[in-house]
């Protein structure tokens, strides 16, 4: 079997981006601001951002929940998919990340749609459940991978039939295929994949994607 051709995979990613994701000064500034604020460069790729945007559009989403904001790069893609009266709540543990995201979302003209909630995502989700928050149309899970199964359980309590649940980083360069992955992130992602694969309330698939290494997203629909 020929070895995986990383250069070819990179060229394909660039080819897709050049066709489908035109350069965008707002998104470029988002990344530059995050970098200047010392945030890690672990945002979704441009092609993944476009995919999230399209999933939200296809779902006709008006209410989106994001778990893991960072500097608001994926938030911007998701926010742009919503109608003017749409609502996006994004959950972030780090006050520094949240402040950077708020600035970036204002610069993108999304401050009327997107709200950054600071704190532990599970605590924020439990508070929303207790407060009777209406269900979301799309939920994007992208915070600490060790919490993915817990976030899934809480996301289901904030869902209705038809809600789309998307999770990032579910392949981890294949580490999720190890019987007992050493990397706690891979352990979390592996447990998440197993959970969505058999969950009675979900129909799911995982899609491998290439960026700096092979990773992937999981897409589920609530029955
Ligand atoms: N969705 C972003 C990337 C998120 S990176 C994008 O693609 O642009 C993961 C983020 O989750 C980090 O900002 C990290 O601070 C945050 N995070 C980690 N653990 C968390 C927790 N328990 N609750 C809320 N946010 C958390
Ligand atoms: C990490 C987190 C992410 O959400 C990501 O897309 C890539 C890496 C990380 O914590 O290493
Ligand atoms: Mg991610």
- Segment 146-168 shows an average pLDDT of 98
Residues 6+ apart with CB under 8 A from 70: 34, 39, 40, 42, 43, 92, 97, 101
Contact between residue 10 and residue 210 where contact means Cβ atoms under 8 Å apart: yes
What are the pLDDT digits (tens) for 79-111? Answer: 999 999 999 999 999 999 999 999 999 999 999
Q: In the predicted model, what is the mean pLDDT of the chain?
A: 97
- Answering whether pTM is above 0.95, one says yes
Ligand 1, CB cutoff 6 Å, lining residues:
42-44, 68-70, 73-74, 91-94, 97, 120-121, 142-144, 147
Identify the pLDDT of residue 12.
Answer: 96
| pLDDT tens string 113-150 | 999 999 999 999 999 999 999 999 999 999 999 999 99
What's the confidence (pLDDT) of residue 169? 98
Cα-based distances in Å from 101 to 11, 74, 116, 148: 30, 10, 8, 22
What is the residue whose two structure tokens read 């706690």?
184
* Closest ligand to Cα 188: 2
Question: What does the pLDDT read at residue 1?
Answer: 62
The average pLDDT across 59-66 equals 99
Cα 189 to middle of ligand 2, angstroms: 11
Question: Two tokens at 25?
Answer: 């000064």
Kindly give the distance from the C-alpha atom of residue 169 to the centroid of ligand 2, in angstroms, as a whole number.
Answer: 7
Mean pLDDT of the region 2-21: 93
Count the Cβ atoms, other than its own, within 10 Å of residue 31. Answer: 16
Over range 57-78, report the average pLDDT.
99
DSSP 221: E
Residues recorded for the chain: 223
Contact 111, 136 (CB under 8 A): no
Percent of the chain, pLDDT > 70?
A: 99
Backbone torsions φ then ψ of 162, nearest 5 degrees: 105, -15
| 142 C-beta closer than 6 A to ligand 2 | yes
């Amino acid at each position: 079997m020929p070895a995986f051709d990383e250069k070819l995979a990179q060229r394909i990613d660039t080819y897709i981006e050049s066709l489908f994701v035109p350069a965008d000064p707002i998104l470029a500034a988002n990344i530059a601001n995050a970098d200047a604020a010392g945030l890690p460069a672990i945002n979704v790729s441009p092609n993944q951002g476009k995919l999230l945007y399209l999933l939200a559009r296809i779902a006709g989403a008006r209410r989106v929940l994001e778990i893991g904001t960072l500097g608001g790069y994926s938030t911007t893609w998701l926010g742009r998919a919503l109608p003017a009266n749409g609502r996006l709540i994004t959950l972030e543990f780090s006050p520094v990340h949240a402040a950077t995201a708020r600035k970036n979302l204002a610069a993108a003209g999304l401050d009327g749609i997107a709200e950054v909630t600071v704190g532990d995502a599970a605590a924020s989700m439990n508070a929303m459940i207790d407060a009777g928050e209406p269900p979301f149309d799309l939920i994007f899970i992208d915070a600490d991978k060790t919490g993915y199964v817990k976030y899934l359980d809480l996301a289901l309590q904030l869902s209705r039939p038809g809600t789309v649940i998307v999770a990032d980083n579910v392949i981890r360069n294949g580490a999720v295929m190890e019987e007992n992955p050493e990397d706690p992130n891979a352990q979390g992602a592996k447990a998440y994949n197993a959970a969505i694969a058999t969950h009675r309330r979900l129909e799911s698939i995982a899609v491998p994607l290439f960026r700096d290494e092979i990773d992937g997203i999981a897409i589920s629909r609530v029955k």
